[in-house]
Amino acid sequence: MNIRSRLRDRLQTALEGLAPAPDAAVDLAGLAEMVVPSQDPKFGDYQINCAMPLAKALKRPPREVAQELVDRLQVDDLCEAPTIAGPGFINLKVRDDRLVSLLQTAAKDDRLGIAPVAHRKQYIVDYSAPNVAKPMHVGHIRSSVIGDSIYRTLKFLGHNVVGDNHIGDWGTQFGMIIYGFKHFRDDAAYRANPVAELSRLYRLVNQLVGYFEGQAELPKLRQKADAAKAVLAAAQTIAPTGDKNVDKKNAQTLKKAQNDVESSAKAVAELQEKLAAMDADPAVAKLIAAHPKIGAAALEETAKLHSGDEENLKLWQEFMPPCLEALEETYRRLHVTFDETLGESFYHDRLAEVAEDFERKGLARESDGALCIFLPGQETPMLIRKKDGAFLYATTDLATIKYRIERWKPDAVLYVVDHRQSLHFEQLFAAAKLAGYDACDFRHISFGTVLGKDGRPYKTRSGDTVGLKGLLDEAVERAATIVAENDERNPEGPQLSAEERKRVAETVGIGALKYADLSQNRTSDYEFSYDKMLAMNGNTATYMQYAYARVRSIFRRGGVDIEALRAKNIAIELNTPAERQLAVSILRCEEALELALVDFRPNQLTTYLFELASHYSTFFDQCPVLKAPTPELRDSRLMLCDLTARTIKLGLSLLGIDVVEQM
Ligand code: ARG
């Protein structure tokens, strides 16, 4: 049972009959949300904080309003008599007999007493969505694991959910790969490992295309650097005026001009260095000389593929299965699954119709030969058909919306995509609204960048993006060391076979990586660190998995038949603050899940789990379990251990992370 939501309903009822009645401008539902867990147990378990803002709206003294709320609040079946503190905080303490009966219900229930929602909705979650045939990199972790966790949590709470992997399987990278395949392929390598060879070809062609793009870019960058220098020179001639504000402004202008000179010079130097390195590599230089038109040629290959050219289509069909299998392999390791994988290619022959539809309804019009949707309040229009007739990413997304709405009639579609695509989604959702899809709640679940120690996007030493596979391998390898050390240190001697250690290391390593990502506020950037993610102490998967394994080892050591105990309706004793606090914490799981879905933030769940584990740790330090003074107390404490472990297991499973019995 979700105690907080129960209290919220009661508060809402109490608020509704208040005198004088709050006027319509007062958001009663918003006020009813102001039931929060207490920061300090000495103020009870929950606190109602809405008396102060409400008193302001009613122009009455806050304590008086708090008292009226308390008088009207019907919670005696759940709580002890509410008390008022300070300027009008209402403190609530859940009755111990209620805690005990809720724990008993949880113990006997597979879902730990967590009910599915009363109003189930149809969701579509669009996550992972890598561009096929390019190697998956560190950035793909975020969308995959955040999306997967949201998917799991929605499903657990009883919603209908479709997980759809909208892979980029039709983009310009295929033109590059086809060009590479036609000119540079190594047949033996392709036979031995098609995906590795295709991704080599992609990188090679991309590099060559990048060379010519860089050459075209260089004069522009130089111009920019010169302009910045000129601005700086001008700024340096400005003499102090004696007016403090003006001088401060001028100093800022000067600082900015200095920064611009520095950064533009750096950009020129970096690009020059990059081009020079390619010139200096004889093999690369030869290719550069032999393929001066490679950029246009690669685009041409994409255009041919899209217009149904037989040879290119056949190649594409040949490339796709091994590429998909490579993706699958990563997903299997990450335990990420989908109901559908409807990539961009799936929508290819629907694009023309979608564009025409917008045009026919007068929602899009031509501008310089391109078809554009002009959106209310937006400066830049959304391009849906280029001058040459080609369609765009946005066109595909509009076709995808149409398809999804017709097939699943979703209440909400969640796009778990990085923050750099914010403008795209803003425009997309506005266009969908224009097209009449306004009953559906479209959400961009955006997330920040994974950074290296230097505070810049996480790269390998040579400046390449970090491949996902290597990342997973390294996490697992480091976990293996930790698992081995732990096992060696076991007072009863090592417990794990080599095979078991390997399995545990995989679970711990992958779990650490996922948890490190999920425990971040998704909209922030975060620094990638193996040491932090695998720490045995702190808010990490390793700590949670260890807490779980420790509980399980108590049962093993004590020869406890926990299944039998669960069925026995143990009267859990809550006589010490540590026991009571742990009980309350266990029962807050449903609340945490609700919170995690408010704005689709899995870190709400990790925060909860960390709190639970901390309360468990206090309990474990203060309350002997196997050596409890009476058999009744021993059983009671065993139940608290069990419920903690099961809650951790459930919480981790909703993050897509497994537990291990021993580590
Ligand atoms: N493939 C895209 C990329 O890598 C992400 C697609 C996200 N989903 C969508 N419906 N646009 O940038």
DSSP string, 435-476: TT--SSEEEEEEE--EE-TTSSB-B-TTSPBPBHHHHHHHHH
Residue 139, pLDDT score: 81
Residue with the nearest Cα to atom 5 of ligand 1? Answer: 129
Task: Kindly state whether residues 129 and 29 are assigned to the same domain.
Answer: no
pLDDT of residue 463: 67
pLDDT value at position 26?
81
**Average pLDDT of the chain, as a whole number:** 94
Q: Identify whether residues 195 and 266 lie together within a single domain.
A: yes
Statement: residue 578 has pLDDT above 90: yes
Residue 404 in contact with ligand 1 by CB distance below 6 A = no
Q: Is the pTM of this model over 0.75?
A: yes
Whether residues 22 and 65 fall in one domain: yes
383 within domain boundaries:
yes
Query: What CATH number has the domain bearing residue 427?
Result: 3.40.50.620
- Does a structural domain hold residue 102? no
Same domain, 326 and 367: yes
Q: Would you tell me the crossing angle of helices 541-557 and 603-622 to the nearest 10 degrees?
A: 40
Q: How far is the CA of 508 from the centre of ligand 1 (A)?
A: 29
Looking at residue 379, its pLDDT comes to 86
Q: What does the alpha-carbon distance between residue 387 and residue 89 come to, in Å, rounded to a whole number?
A: 63
My answer on whether 22 and 54 are in the same domain is: yes
**pLDDT reported for residue 384:** 96
From the list 566, 580, 543, the residue with the least C-alpha distance to 638 is 566
Pair 216, 278 in one domain: yes
Contact 225, 261 (CB under 8 A): yes
Mean pLDDT (whole number) for 624-633: 96
DSSP state of 369: T
**CA–centroid distance, residue 514 to ligand 1 (Å):** 20
Q: Is the CB of 164 under 6 A from ligand 1?
A: no
Cis-peptide into 20, omega within 30 deg? yes
For residue 467, list its beta bridge partners. 137
Instruction: Indicate left, alpha or beta for 656 from its phi (over 0: left) and psi (-120 to 50: alpha).
Output: left
**Strand runs labelled E in 297-406:** 364-367, 370-373, 382-385
Cβ of 134 closer than 6 Å to ligand 1, yes or no, is: no
299/657 Cα distance (integer angstroms): 42
> Residue 62 is part of which domain span?
3-94
| Contact 583 CB / ligand 1 (< 6 Å) | no
The 10s digit of each residue's pLDDT in 504-516 is 999 999 999 999 9
Question: Is the per-residue pLDDT at 22 higher than 80?
Answer: no
The token pair that represents 301 in the structure block = 């290959």
72 shares its domain with 135: no
- 409 and 376 inside one domain: yes
Quick check: CB of 319 below 6 Å from ligand 1?
Answer: no
Query: CATH code at 54?
Result: 3.30.1360.70
Ligand 1, atom nearest to 425 Cα = 11
Tell me which of 128, 166, 402, 428 to substitute to probe ligand 1's pocket, judged by most ligand atoms within 8 Å of the beta carbon: 166
Question: Is any ligand 1 atom within 6 A of the Cβ of residue 129?
Answer: yes
* pLDDT band per the 50, 70, 90 thresholds, residue 454: confident
Indicate the burial class of 620 (C-beta count within 10 angstroms; 0-12, 13-18, 19 or more).
buried
- Total Cβ atoms within 10 A of residue 508: 30
Distance 399 CA to ligand 1 centre (A): 14
163/193 same-domain check:
no
Residue 614 within any structural domain of the chain? no
**How many domains does the chain divide into?**
3
Of 398, 416, 451, which closes a domain? 451
- Give the chain's count of helices (H) and strands (E): 25, 13
- Rounded CA-CA distance 656/663 in Å is 19
Residue 417 CB–ligand 1 contact under 6 Å: yes
From residue 584, give the alpha-carbon distance in Å to each of 142, 606, 640, 653. Answer: 32, 17, 11, 21
291: in domain: yes
Query: In the beta sheet, which residues pair with residue 162?
Result: 124
Q: Which of 142, 345, 421 to mutate to test the pocket of ligand 1 (most atoms within 8 A of CB)?
A: 421
Of 451, 482, 498, which marks where a domain is finished? Answer: 451
365 is a domain residue: yes
Among 510, 659, 522, residue whose Cα is nearest residue 596: 522
Dihedral angle over CA of 244, 246, 250, 253, nearest 10: 120
- Whether residue 145 is found in the same domain as residue 162: yes
Query: According to the model, what pLDDT value does residue 18 have?
Result: 82
Q: Are residues 273 and 217 in the same domain?
A: yes
- Does 346 reside within a domain? yes
User: Does residue 389 fall inside a structural domain?
Assistant: yes
CB-based contact 615:585 (threshold 8 Å) = yes
In angstroms, how far is CA 512 from the centroid of its own chain?
A: 15
What single DSSP character describes residue 117? P
Any ligand 1 atom below 6 A from CB of 166: yes
Q: How far is CA 372 from CA 344, 397, 427, 565, in A?
A: 20, 15, 11, 66
DSSP letters spanning 301-319: HHHHHHTT-HHHHHHHHHH
Is 580 close to ligand 1, i.e. is its CB under 6 Å away?
no
Please indicate, yes or no, if residue 32 is contained in any of the structural domains: yes
Q: Does residue 171 line the site of ligand 1, with CB under 6 A?
A: no
- For residues 367 and 403, state if they share a domain: yes
Of 425, 451, 477, which residue constitutes the final position of a domain? 451
CA-nearest residue for atom 6, ligand 1, is: 129
Spatial separation of the C-alpha atoms in residues 124 and 482, rounded to whole Å: 39
Segment 547-551 mean pLDDT: 94
Q: What number is the average pLDDT over the span 215-241?
A: 94
Rounded Cα–Cα distance for residues 566 and 109 (Å): 9
- Tell me, what DSSP letter sits at residue 239? P
**pLDDT single digits (tens) 599-615:** 999 999 999 999 999 99
Among all chains, which residue has been given the structure tokens 């972790």? 141
